[in-house]
Structure formats: structure tokens, C-alpha cells
């Protein structure tokens, strides 16, 4: 079998694990751990507090600082209410396209890493390569938010990290942050014919939503000069509003799920400050004037920093050299890259598949994209073995 055939076989096996974020990923993690351990990797399975989810940290090559992290998340988004042409958890091979949930986001990259790991294990590496496969990226980067501080506490100091999110194998050097919130409204039920005697949680949720969306114009006005993002400003989106039961009942409870993609963290502080003041100064006093027990609770589902482009980025430069890219781009979607950047290493994003296929029915990755990823990983192997084509490890600096 060719290296590409091996990768497709790995992908078929990975897709067959239905690692939707709401469910456990342990079976997949254990499979990855066994395969890397069989290659001689030093492997750790790091479970979350529930014991039902886990990150995998595995290393080939010498001990010590420097080297490279190859990172991908193991969870996938649900397939509920999507019109798939075939079983989403069985690989469907149609020529160049390989269909299945997670094919591009991002089990294709993990499959390529498994093929590359076999190559690395046979090489005399002078720099370590670490495999970081995480849980729950799709619901707030929960796995990476636990893994990164654990690595920092151990004093593990790689030089670079490549995050294999689907970028059509384009090198990406920056993205916006991602903040996700659920706001819960507790009012007081009653008959719809006497609305003044109750506190309609659905109405207060609507007022909250209107105030939040009004901030879009403020965020456009706050666009940083020279912003390269598309769109260049911080965005807001309401994903869900729920509340009430029928026409003539005052809704006692309501919820809003919303997200923000900040260009700068000051925008996140601005939005959260405005909404906090609106709740405390306007909404809650009005609700509690009728029902003293009324409440508004904001749950932080995830606050993940963006990846700010840096003038000096050895990972970006090496990835560009190996792929032949003339430049590096930015993307609007979030990744775990900003979290890994807090380890004071250089980070870039580059992986097989298009984000246009992610999260949709009949998600797919192409063989050409997997082949391009394998080529990049081969080049990184040469650097790990000491080839002069890449940058040398440099002292890590705070920035």
C-alpha cells in the first residue's frame, strides 16, 4: 500500500468512531494511543474530570525542549437533522472525494499524522515531535484549555506547533477569537391576559437580543486600522432563542445562545461590559420590580483567544517553504492555535480539506488534499531529523 492508501485506511477507521462532542471520545483516543505506542512513542492519555473525555499527548524523538507539536481535535459536530447521502460514520469513497463526518474537520489531518508517525519512528530525529489530539474543540476548545496549562506546568517547551484545521493546505498565520455564551432568563409565569402581573422571560430575552445586535454598528466603527480579516471587524451572532410554551401563557423562562468573534480582546471586553451594564442597570431592576426572585444568568461556554499574526514566526515560514506558498493568510473561524501560542511558541495553521465542507452534510476531503498534507509532514520530518531546509530552534521569548 502507498502512504496515501495507508492514510485513507486510517481515515476510514477514525470516521467510524462517532466522536460527536456530546459523547465520549475515549475509544478513539485509546486506538490512537495504541498505534503510536506500537511505533515507540511515549504516550499519555489525559482524562477530563468526568473520565469520559480525554486528550492524547504522545512524543517521538529525543527528550528536551524544542521540536514540533502536531495538533488536531478528535471531536466532530452532530449529524442530527442533516440530509446525508450515506452513513456519516462510514467512509464513502467516490474517486477523489472521501466522505464522512470529520473527514476534513479534522480526522483527515490526524490520519495523515498517523502515516507520518510511522515515517518519523524510522528516522533518527534530532528534535522531538509531539502529537496533541484533543477533545471538545467544537464546544469551546475544552480539551486544549486543559492540555495547554498542563504542558506549561510540566515545563514542556516545544519551539513550534502546526494546527491541522482544514485550510485547503493554505498556510494561515492568524484568526479571530471565539467567545460563546448562554444567557438564561428567569421570570414569573401568569396568564397572557394580564401581562403586567408577570415577568415575561421571552420578552426580556428579546430586549437583550435587540441591545446585543445594536452593538454591531459600534463594532464596525471600532474596526482596527489595517485589519486583514474578512470581515475586518468583530462579529456577533445569535444562534438560538428559546422560551415559552404557548400563546396565552407568560413565559417564565427563556434562553439565548450567542457568539462573538473578536478581532481584538478589547472588543470582547467592550461587548461584555455593555451587556453586563444593560442587565444590571436596566433589565434586572425592571424584572425584580414585579418578581423579586427574577434572574438573568450568563454562562461562559467558551472564551478562546485569537491568533494574532506575528512578524517573526518560524512555523509559518517553515510551512510556507515546504508548501511553496508565497504568503500566509487569515481566517475568520476559531482554532486551538491561540491557546498553544500561550506556550510562547510559534504557531501556524495548515491542513487538508476546505472549511466550506466542514459541519455540513456529506462532508468530504479529497485525496489530493491528503497527498499535499503528507508532503508537508514529510518535509517536517526532514526538519525534525536535522535538515538545514528549515529554521533552527531559537530561544523562546515572551511576546
Q: Are residues 169 and 185 in the same domain?
A: no
| Residue 392 forms part of a structural domain | no
Establish if 396 belongs to a structural domain. Answer: no
Q: Does residue 20 form part of some domain? A: yes
* Tens of pLDDT, residue by residue, the chain (399 residues): 799 999 999 999 999 999 999 999 999 999 999 999 999 999 999 999 999 999 999 999 999 999 999 999 999 999 999 999 999 999 999 989 999 999 999 999 999 999 999 999 999 999 999 999 999 999 889 999 999 999 999 999 999 999 999 999 999 999 999 999 999 999 999 999 999 999 999 999 999 999 999 999 999 999 999 898 889 999 999 999 999 999 999 999 999 999 999 999 999 999 999 999 999 999 999 999 999 999 999 999 888 888 988 899 999 999 999 999 999 999 888 899 999 999 999 999 999 999 999 999 999 999 999 999 999 999 999 999 997 554 444 433 333
Residue 389, domain member (yes or no): no
Q: Is 75 an annotated catalytic residue? A: yes
Check: CB of residue 378 under 8 Å from CB of residue 116: yes
105, 136, 137, 138: the catalytic one is 137
Strands 129-134 and 54-60, by their bridges, are: antiparallel
Examine the residue annotation and report whether 356 is marked as an active-site residue of this protein. no
Is residue 175 classed as helix, strand or coil in its secondary structure? Answer: strand
DSSP code of residue 393: P
How many beta carbons lie within 10 A of that of residue 360, not counting itself?
Answer: 15
Do 16 and 99 fall into the same domain? yes
159 and 200 assigned to the same domain: no
* Torsion sign, CA atoms 245, 247, 248, 250: positive
Q: Single out the residue in 289, 304, 319 at which a domain terminates.
A: 304
Q: What CATH number did the domain enclosing 348 receive?
A: 3.40.630.10
Of 100, 92, 74, 99, nearest to 19 by C-alpha is 74
In terms of domains, do 79 and 186 share one?
Answer: no
Are 161 and 270 part of one and the same domain? no
Query: What CATH number corresponds to the domain at position 199?
Result: 3.30.70.360
Same domain, 66 and 197: no
Contacts for 302 with CB less than 8 Å, ≥ 6 apart: 139, 140, 141, 142, 145, 178, 179, 180
Same structural domain, 123 and 139:
yes
Residues in contact with 295: Cβ distance below 8 Å, sequence separation at least 6, in sequence order:
184, 185, 186, 284
- Taking the C-alpha atoms of residue 176 and residue 240, their distance in angstroms, rounded to an integer, is 22
Domain boundary among 279, 304, 329: 304
- Residues 321 and 300 placed together within one structural domain of the fold: no
Domain C-terminal end among 304, 337, 368: 304
**Domain coverage including residue 224:** 178-304
Quick check: is 116 in a domain? yes
Half-sphere CA count of 74, side-chain side, radius 13 A: 30
**Residue 130 to residue 110: CA distance in whole angstroms:** 13
Whether 70 is covered by a domain: the verdict is yes
Say if residue 50 is in the same domain as residue 158: yes
Number of domains in the chain: 2
- Whether residues 203 and 279 share a domain: the answer is yes
Q: Which helix (H) or strand (E) holds 303?
A: strand 295-304
Q: Residues 165, 240: one domain?
A: no
Are 265 and 374 in the same domain? no
Q: Nearest CA to 181 among 279, 259, 91, 108?
A: 259
Amino acid at each position: 500500500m502507498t502512504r496515501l492508501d495507508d492514510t485513507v485506511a486510517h481515515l476510514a477507521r477514525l470516521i467510524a468512531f462517532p466522536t460527536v462532542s456530546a459523547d465520549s471520545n475515549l475509544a478513539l483516543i485509546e486506538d490512537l494511543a495504541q498505534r503510536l505506542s506500537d511505533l515507540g512513542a511515549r504516550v499519555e492519555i489525559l482524562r477530563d474530570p468526568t473520565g469520559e473525555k480525554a486528550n492524547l499527548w504522545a512524543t517521538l524523538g529525543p527528550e528536551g525542549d524544542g521540536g514540533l507539536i502536531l495538533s488536531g481535535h478528535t471531536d466532530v459536530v452532530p449529524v442530527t437533522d442533516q440530509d446525508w447521502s450515506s452513513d456519516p460514520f462510514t467512509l464513502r469513497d467516490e474517486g477523489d472525494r472521501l466522505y464522512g463526518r470529520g473527514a476534513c474537520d479534522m480526522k483527515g489531518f490526524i490520519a495523515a499524522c498517523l502515516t507520518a508517525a510511522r515515517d518519523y519512528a524510522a528516522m533518527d530525529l534530532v528534535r522531538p515531535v509531539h502529537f496533541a489530539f484533543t477533545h471538545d474543540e467544537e464546544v469551546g476548545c475544552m480539551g486544549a484549555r486543559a492540555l495547554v496549562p498542563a504542558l506549561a506546568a510540566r515545563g514542556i517547551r516545544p519551539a513550534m506547533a502546526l494546527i491541522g484545521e482544514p485550510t485547503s493546505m493554505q498556510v494561515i498565520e492568524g484568526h479571530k477569537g471565539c467567545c460563546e455564551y448562554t444567557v438564561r432568563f428567569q421570570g414569573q409565569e401568569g396568564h397572557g391576559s394580564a401581562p403586567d402581573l408577570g415577568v415575561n422571560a421571552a420578552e426580556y430575552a428579546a430586549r437583550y437580543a435587540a441591545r446585543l445586535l445594536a452593538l454591531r454598528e459600534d463594532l464596525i466603527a471600532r474596526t482596527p486600522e489595517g485589519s486583514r480579516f474578512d470581515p475586518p471587524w468583530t462579529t456577533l451572532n445569535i444562534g438560538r432563542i428559546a422560551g415559552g410554551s404557548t400563546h396565552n401563557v407568560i413565559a417564565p423562562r427563556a434562553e439565548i445562545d450567542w457568539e462573538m468573534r473578536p478581532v481584538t480582546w478589547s472588543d470582547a471586553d467592550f461587548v461584555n461590559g455593555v451587556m453586563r451594564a444593560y442587565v444590571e442597570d436596566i433589565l434586572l431592576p425592571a424584572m425584580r420590580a414585579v418578581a423579586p426572585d427574577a434572574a438573568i444568568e450568563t454562562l461562559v461556554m467558551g472564551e478562546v483567544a485569537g491568533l494574532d499574526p506575528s512578524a517573526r514566526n518560524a512555523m509559518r515560514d517553515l510551512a510556507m517553504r515546504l508548501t511553496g506558498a508565497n504568503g500566509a493568510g487569515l481566517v475568520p473561524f476559531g482554532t486551538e492555535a491561540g491557546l498553544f501560542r500561550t506556550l510562547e511558541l510559534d504557531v501556524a495553521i495548515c491542513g487538508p480539506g476546505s472549511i466550506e465542507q466542514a459541519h455540513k452534510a456529506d462532508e468530504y476531503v479529497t485525496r489530493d488534499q491528503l497527498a499535499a498534507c503528507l508532503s508537508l509532514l514529510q518535509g517536517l520530518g526532514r526538519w525534525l531529523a536535522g535538515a538545514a531546509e528549515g529554521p533552527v530552534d531559537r530561544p523562546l521569548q515572551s511576546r
